[in-house]
Amino acid sequence: MSYYIKPVTELKPGRMAVYRVVKRLRDFKPEDGVEYMVFKSRKAMQTDFFVDLYCAKNGKLVKLKDRSMMRF
């Protein structure tokens, strides 16, 4: 399984989305305080309506349990 990760700040209409692909979440080195969208697979990236949001804290990604994002 691979994870597809990109910052939430790059969500602008009409712009191409570029995801970073990593094998494990701990392989990704995030910037502190930045929120990221994380998909658990390529299939999930194409079919999921709700996206899990993660926030960077102390060099690790921590899942935000009180927020997610809806795509349509």
Q: Are strands 3-7 and 35-39 parallel, antiparallel or unpaired?
A: antiparallel
Residue 20 near residue 2 (C-beta atoms within 8 A): no
**Does the structure show a pLDDT above 80 at 51?**
yes
Q: In which order are the strands placed within the sheet that holds 35-39?
A: 20-22, 3-7, 35-39, 50-57, 60-70
Confidence label for 70 from pLDDT (cuts 50, 70 and 90): confident
pLDDT greater than 70 at residue 17: yes
* Confidence (pLDDT) at 72: 67
Mean pLDDT, rounded, for 16-26: 87
* CB neighbour list of residue 45: distance below 8 Å, 6 or more residues apart: 4, 19, 39
Where residue 66 falls among pLDDT bands split at 50, 70, 90?
A: confident
Which has the higher per-residue pLDDT, 22 or 10? 22
